[in-house]
Chain A
């Protein structure tokens, strides 16, 4: 079955440590995204990539980094510079649908930093 895989589902880290969240898709989509979700705030875009070896900052990129070395993979690193990293992180991929991309989401990773 085609889809988006995020691992792990739950992740715990100590403050000051970098942590990398995995996102893999086998939908053959060109574009991929990372969102952060906090209660009552909806989805906020962290980074997105339209094509391999290229990515752009979203609305809240500070303290995060990404890479896009393969079409299928778009890992997100939460660095120690991120002031409040505890959140639910969602990865998505998309296909163009007219002029706007129709997004498909993974199951999410809940990161807890103490």
Chain B
């Protein structure tokens, strides 16, 4: 069965600093990977996704993520964080080869941005 681990419950960064949020997964042969962002009291918004091809994926709001098969990771990065990036971030994985077309979500990482 597929699973997702987000090892960091909270991450604190200063505005303007770089950011990396970690995501590790277990899967079958064909992972489909997503990052979502959730502002307080709101729904989830898709930041980016990886299905195949180039392992470096560009998303909205200046975010990118890199798929590393050897490390079973799909870490989210941003070169310069803005105060408005403070939110909850969720990694999700689906495994079509295993028949699990509904993504499994990690428990989330809360990003705190200091001025």
Contacts and interface: CB of A to CB of B under 8 A. Distances in A.
Interface string B19-51: 000000000001010101000011111100101
A55 interface: no
Contacts, number: 67
B46 A101 contact: no
Interface string A48-64: 10000000000000000
Interface residues of A, number: 26
Q: How large is the interface on B (under 10, 10 to 19, 20 to 34, 35 or more residues)?
A: 20 to 34
B107 A42 contact: yes
Given A105-B43, A108-B41, A108-B42, A100 B32 contact: yes
Interface of B: 9, 30, 32, 34, 36, 41-46, 49, 51-52, 90, 94-97, 100-103, 105-108
Interface of A: 4, 6, 33, 40-43, 45, 48, 88, 90, 92, 96-108, 110
